[in-house]
Every structure is written in C-alpha cells, then in structure tokens.
Amino acid sequence: MFIIEKPYASEFLVDAIVQNDWAVLDNESIQEANFEEGAFNLVDTNQAREHFLKQEYPLIYSNSENAINWVLENLPQSNLTSYIKFFKDKAKFRELLQEMYPDFYFQTVEYENLKKLNKKEIKFPVVLKPAVGFLSFGVHTVKDESEWDSVISKLSSEMKQAESMYPKEVLDSSKFLIEEKIEGEEFAIDAFYDRNGDVVILNIFQHPFYNEKDVSDRIYITSAEIMVRHMAKFAILLKQIGNLSLIRNFPMHVEVRIKDDGTIIPIEVNPMRFAGWCTTDVARYAWGINVYEHFQNQTSPNWNDILADAGRDIYYFSMAEVPVDVERSKIKNFDYGRFLENYSHVLEVRRINFETNPLFAIIFGSLKDKSEIQKILSLNTKDYIIQ
C-alpha cells in the first residue's frame, strides 16, 4: 500500500501508482488533492488496518514522513512501528549503534536546557540537530565555544517555522542531539530491506557542501563511478544495521559519512521513504529505473548491466531553498528563469509552492564534470526573490 501525504507527490510517483493499480490509503491528503476521480485503488483506514494487522512485515511506502503518525496510531504493535521508532529518533538511533561505534561522542539535551549547558563539557567541534528532524531545519555545525551562543539564539525562529510545516512525528524541537562532527565525504542511500531481510540499493548520492559550515541540501549527485565504488560496502553496513532488529519490507533513506581511514559512520536513517520530496525520481534519468516498482515488486535493479552501459555523466537533484530569515509575506515571486541560468543541462524543473513550503523548486539535471557543482553550491536564493 502507498500512503500519499503532504507536502509533495511527484507526477512520476502518481503515474506509477495508477499504471500498476497499487492500493492507496484514502486519507485527507488524497481528498484535498486534485486527483482525477477513480484514479486510485483506494483503501480506507479500517480496511488497511485490518489487512496489515495480519501481516508480520507490512509492505507500505509513503512519499512523506507525515505518514508516520498513521502507522503509529493504527499499527502500534507492528514490526513497521518498531522500525520507525528504531530510526526516527536520532538519539535512540545513536544509542542502538553504540555497540558498533563505542567511541562515538554524542549527548541528548532538552531544548530548554541548551542555554544552560556547560560548554566546557562539550567535545567540540560538534553538530547540533533536533533528535527528530527533517531536511536541515535546526541543524548547525559548531566549531568551538565561541560559536555556541550565537547558534542557540538562531534556533527559536528556525524551529517555529519548521513546526508550522511538519507534524511532531516528523520534526520535534523539544529534544536536541549534540554529536561529534564526522569528518569526511557525505553520502545518501535509497534502499530497502526485502521480505527476506536482504538489502536492495536503488540510489547512491554524494552530498557535496560549499564549505565546512554548510549543512544545506542544495545538491546531491550520482554517477556510475559513485555507484561502483560504494555499493558493496554500503550494502554490508546496511545489512549489519538490519540485523540489529531483523528488519523486513522496509524502505529508507540513509545518510552516512566516510572518514579518511575508510570507516563508514551512519548519520541518520529516514524511515518509510527514499530521498524526500520525491527527489529519488532522479533514478529514472540516471539509471532508467522506477524505484517504486522495485520496492513494491521486491526486485533489485540489474546493476551489472545498468552500470556496464552507463556513461560518465553525473546526474543530480538540486533544491532551491526558501531562506529561513526571509519573511514569506514579503515574497511576491521567485525569478525561476534567471536562477536556472546557473544550471547547464536541466532535465526537469518542479516548481514548489513557496508560500507554504521551504522550497522554491527542485531541479534535476546532468553534468559532464564536477566544475559546475561549486557554482550551484554558492548560489544565494535571496538574490532571485522578487519582493
């Protein structure tokens, strides 16, 4: 079953659901959306609950973590609920991984106690983030004591904006995680555990940053070279994590960093979905695959053939973020045309309603080399806002 939720479902996802006649939960988001009547094979909550309570390992995918609340309320004792709880709370996730990473420094602090914290006891540099979070809301890199107070002062307005967009199950500012800053390249993985608990990888993205202070989601890139170099070792790591809780039938978006010595450290695991805002759809351009069909049909892409035939192009998705310090009421429009001039080979542009969402647009494209990436990372969306 698919659960379609706010904030965004792509046409590619909707078309896949309709063409395959997959079951869709009949919820408020479906009723409010402008979908053609009869387009979906709708299942109401009672039918879905009755069906999945009988399933040891429910097979459910959602485009948004907003669907988590439905699962927690209707399938409270299911394995799926235990998986969500295992991963969604980043503090609990760190605790569960302590056996694998005994020397990793982290601590959990209530938001109201952040200002009272003894800075001498923090092992800088650190990353500060909501224990339950989404995108980069409330995420900050803090190099030393001198930066701590200014970062804490920014959090209040940031989290108020975020909480107005997402439910508590997706983003909760009541508890924060302080953890050591992991040096090294960052990667993201779209994958799922199949019915046998085997790992199926669908996307691997490198996540470049503008500088050491950057924590944005501006651009993620993938290529045959990235897939070949990292797929085997990422699959081994995910299998180790899956064995901690015998995970089955579970889609996820995983973020990791690779240290200079080759050690792979998980940052977080986002449950029930692949890359957010349907950005996982970049796989259609890069590899010619439909990630939703692979999950629903429990199949793995034929990576040997796909990568053997792949060229040297780099594919990406890029996000044009609404600055957190800009008053939305003062934004009349965004200069999409001028902004997109910064991208050389655009494959698709998805304009997002910036009045109610944290993005102006999502851009899919390709590159021949990485020289353009730094330019994209340096863009300031404020320069393209029309007031």
**Confidence (pLDDT) at 229:** 98
**Confidence (pLDDT) at 325:** 86
Biggest CA-to-CA distance, the chain: 61
**Confidence (pLDDT) at 136:** 66
Bigger pLDDT: 157 vs 297: 297
**Confidence (pLDDT) at 203:** 98
**Residues with Cβ < 8 Å from 117, sequence gap 6 or more?**
109
Nearest to 291 by CA among 304, 308, 307, 279: 279
Q: CB–CB of 298/195 below 8 Å?
A: yes
Percent pLDDT > 70 in the chain is: 96
| pLDDT tens track for 256-274 | 999 999 999 999 899 999 9
Distances (CA, A) of 301 to 194, 253, 306, 307, 309: 13, 17, 8, 10, 13
**Confidence (pLDDT) at 134:** 59
**Confidence (pLDDT) at 36:** 83
**Confidence (pLDDT) at 37:** 83
**Confidence (pLDDT) at 168:** 61
**Residues with Cβ < 8 Å from 129, sequence gap 6 or more?**
90, 138, 139, 140, 176, 177, 179
Distances (CA, A) of 29 to 7, 9, 66, 67: 9, 10, 10, 10
Label residue 205 by pLDDT band (50, 70, 90): very high
CA dist 226 and 281 (Å) reads 17
Is the predicted pLDDT of residue 384 greater than 90, yes or no? yes
| pLDDT tens track for 291-323 | 999 999 999 999 999 999 999 999 999 999 999
CA dist 98 and 86 (Å) reads 13
Q: What's the CA angle centered on 183, arms 108 and 244, to 5 degrees?
A: 55
Exposure b/e, 309-319, CB count within 10 A at least 16 = b: ebeebbbbbbb
Is the predicted pLDDT of residue 368 greater than 80, yes or no? yes
Q: What is the mean pLDDT of the segment spanning 246-252?
A: 96
Is the predicted pLDDT of residue 17 greater than 90, yes or no? yes
CA dist 159 and 163 (Å) reads 6
Is the predicted pLDDT of residue 169 greater than 60, yes or no? no
**Confidence (pLDDT) at 88:** 83
DSSP-assigned states of every residue in 285-330: HHTS--HHHHHHHT----HHHHHHH--S-EEEEEEEEPPTTS-GGG
Say whether pTM exceeds 0.95: no
| pLDDT tens track for 105-139 | 999 988 888 888 999 889 999 999 887 765 567 78
Label residue 92 by pLDDT band (50, 70, 90): confident
| pLDDT tens track for 40-69 | 999 999 999 999 999 999 999 999 999 999
**Confidence (pLDDT) at 159:** 72
Start-to-end CA distance of the chain, whole Å, equals 43
**Confidence (pLDDT) at 96:** 86
CA dist 329 and 165 (Å) reads 15
Q: What are phi and psi of 329, to 5 degrees?
A: -65, -20
Q: What is the mean pLDDT of the segment spanning 346-362?
A: 96
- Tokens representing 174 are 């009541």
Percent pLDDT > 90 in the chain is: 73
